[in-house]
Structure 1
Amino acid sequence: MVNLPLLLALQETNREIEGGLFDFNATLPLMALQFLALTVILNLLFYKPVSNVLDDRDEYIRNSLTMASTSLIKANELTQKYEQELAESRKQAQDIIKKSQQEAQQIVSIKIKEAQQDAEKLVFEASQQLNIQKEQALKTLEDQVDALSDQIKLKLLNGNLL
């Protein structure tokens, strides 16, 4: 009788030798072909479309950045241009305001001179009117004084004669 556990152990060792980890039989080339086929299929179906999408995205980003920098340069140029125009406009506005103020001062001084001349004319005319009225009043008084003196004379002469 043969020892059963020993037999089983021998069979186990024979199996390990036949189906080891690195068995070089027909499965190795078949696995290599499967790996190559999977690589080609993945390359065609996944990697190339994904790389195309990534390339398109990179190109879009580059174009967008280029357009953005160009737009920024144009915006800066326009800003400088508008700032210069604004400064010139402010300067012109200040010149116009200054000229307007000078013209207004000239007009005011002319109006003041005219008002002074009118006032002097009115004062002169009023003074002439007063002189005329004074002369008339004096003449009237002289006439009244003459009339009164004639009446007094007549009364005195009439009073002496009686």
Structure 2
Amino acid sequence: GKVFGFNLTLPIIASEFLLLMVILDKTVFGPVGKALDDRDALIRSQLAAVGDNSTEVANLIAEKEQVISSARAEVAKEVASTKAKIDADIAEAQAKAKADVDKQIAAGLA
């Protein structure tokens, strides 16, 4: 017998294969490829948006640091002001007490 019997079956099978390839390309592979391309574009746009957000995050961090440092400076200023007022009140009370003691000593000696 013949090892490769080339008869009319080979062109028919080849044409069926090509026809099936065209039909599958139009009905399955085309829409699936389009869906994959759309998904790829969506993911790339989302990644670009995330990359753009990094500068916004850096700006927010810098603003936070500025707010914290200004709040710390304001608190330090308030603490220093309160401490100065308390020191002045203590000095005034000590001076008044010393004057009262000196007056009592002077009255006792006289």
Larger of the two Rg values belongs to structure: 1
Asked if 1:21 is matched to 2:4, the reply is yes
Counterpart of 2:39 (choices 57, 64, 79) is 57
> What residue ranges of structure 2 are gaps of 5+ in the alignment?
none
The structural deviation recorded for 1:32 is: 2.4
TM-score, normalising length: structure 2:
0.84
Paired position in structure 1 for 2:55: 73
The AA in structure 2 aligned to 1:21 is F
Q: What is the rounded CA distance, in whole Å, between the counterparts of 1:76 and 1:36 in structure 2?
A: 57
> What residue ranges of structure 1 are gaps of 5+ in the alignment?
1-15, 129-162
The AA in structure 1 aligned to 2:95 is K
Paired position in structure 2 for 1:91: 73
Q: How many matched pairs?
A: 110
The structural deviation recorded for 1:51 is: 0.8
The structural deviation recorded for 1:47 is: 1.0
Paired position in structure 2 for 1:6: none
After superposition, the CA RMSD in angstroms is 1.8
Paired position in structure 2 for 1:122: 104
The structural deviation recorded for 1:50 is: 1.6
The structural deviation recorded for 1:108 is: 0.8
The structural deviation recorded for 1:127 is: 4.1
Q: What is the rounded CA distance, in whole Å, between the counterparts of 2:104 and 2:48 in structure 1?
A: 82
TM-score, normalising length: structure 1:
0.60
Q: What is the rounded CA distance, in whole Å, between the counterparts of 2:49 and 2:21 in structure 1?
A: 39
Q: What is the rounded CA distance, in whole Å, between the counterparts of 1:122 and 1:40 in structure 2?
A: 119
Counterpart of 2:88 (choices 94, 103, 106) is 106
Aligned pairs for 1:128-143 (under 5 A) are: 128=110
